[in-house]
Structure 1
Amino acid sequence: MTKISDVADLAAMGRSDLVTLWQQLFDQPAPAMLSQPFLRRFIAFEMQSRCHGGLPRQVKATLEKGSERKPGPTCPALKPGGRLLREWNGVTHIVDVTEDGFTWNSRSFRSLSAIARKITGAHWSGPRFFGSPARGLNEPAP
């Protein structure tokens, strides 16, 4: 059994020792893709939490309340027939919402992000690039 007395001891531990310690602390295997620095930080937090009593009750209550809320949609539901307008570098770009995705410059796309990337030359979130629902994303095309 790996026994350490101080969080500082974690710095000298290799991956196999960290994985063994994780198993001992959490009674389950460590996730395979975690880096050694992340394993050290996570284990250090757990050790300190157990030694000093963990998070204050009020913080735990706040976290529990937050977990009860359902997350809102991250992308507005766009309906076929809708039209998105965006001006970029002095050019107005018009995107039509179709059953299969989107049409821009007479070409079909499956995502708004692909269109935003073509327009800007950089990776953008398509919904963010074209605006929010408050700006009329769901208005039908005239």
Structure 2
Amino acid sequence: MPRSHRAGYRLTGDDTAATMLRRDWERLLGRAAPGAASSDFLQRDIAYHQQVGQHGGLSAATRGRLAALACADPAAAQKPTNATPRIKPGSTLLREWHGRTYTVLVLEAGFEMAGKHFSSLTEIAFHITGTNWSGPRFFGLLRRRATVQPRCVSGNIISA
């Protein structure tokens, strides 16, 4: 009767769990598994890559932050990844939506549109569209970020 391994592999004959894990790792990643890799590492890495395949990987912002941390670049590691620009009170924002122009006044504490007070741009974007929007994105305050470039410190290059 075949033995079972905790990863769910059915072991028969000369096959070992490690051999099967190495085969799966090579099939999934297209290269041989590292020689010193433990079965536990291979199992976790296979699971991670399967999740990436089904649900997507890390965002560009997260990859960039991890690269900065790995390079020990304190300035880059502390920089917010998605900082909303600060708008000075008294500024006016204009947005055209379905043929109508909306004017928003920036206040010390919140925003005003058509004589009504709002606590956030997101609240205003919802009021205008009826759907959930990022307020700063709706009003054009956030630009689409460029692809995160590899960062390096002291010659150590980490691809993001």
- 1:124 equivalenced with 2:133 (yes/no): yes
Q: 1:50 aligns with which of 25, 32, 41?
A: 41
Matched with 2:111 is 102
Following superposition, the deviation at residue 133 of structure 1 comes to 5.9
The separation in 2 between residues aligned to 1:99 and 1:5, in whole angstroms, is: 63
Aligned partner letter, 1:114: E
RMSD value over aligned CA atoms?
A: 3.2
Q: 1:92 aligns with which of 97, 101, 113?
A: 101
- 1:5 equivalenced with 2:24 (yes/no): no
Q: 2:67 aligns with which of 65, 68, 73?
A: 65
The number of equivalent residue pairs is: 88
Q: Cα deviations across residues 25-46 of structure 1 (Å, max 9, x unaligned)?
A: xxxxxxxxxxxxxxxxxxxxxx
Following superposition, the deviation at residue 79 of structure 1 comes to 1.0
The separation in 2 between residues aligned to 1:114 and 1:73, in whole angstroms, is: 19
Q: TM-score, normalised by structure 2?
A: 0.45
Structure 1 unmatched runs, 5+:
10-46, 55-61, 135-142
Other structure's SS at 2:89 match: coil
**When you count strand as a share of all residues, which structure comes out higher?**
2
| Alpha carbons 2:125, 2:138 under 8 Å: kept | yes
The separation in 1 between residues aligned to 2:44 and 2:100, in whole angstroms, is: 59
Structure 2 unmatched runs, 5+:
10-37, 46-63, 144-160
1:113/1:85 Cα in 2 relative to 1: closer, same or farther (>3 Å)? same
Of all paired residues, the percent bearing the same amino acid is: 39
| Alpha carbons 2:122, 2:133 under 8 Å: kept | yes
1:74/1:49 Cα in 2 relative to 1: closer, same or farther (>3 Å)? farther
Following superposition, the deviation at residue 129 of structure 1 comes to 0.3
Q: TM-score, normalised by structure 1?
A: 0.51
1:64/1:76 Cα in 2 relative to 1: closer, same or farther (>3 Å)? closer
Taking the TM superposition and a 5 Å limit, the aligned residue runs for 1:25-40 are none
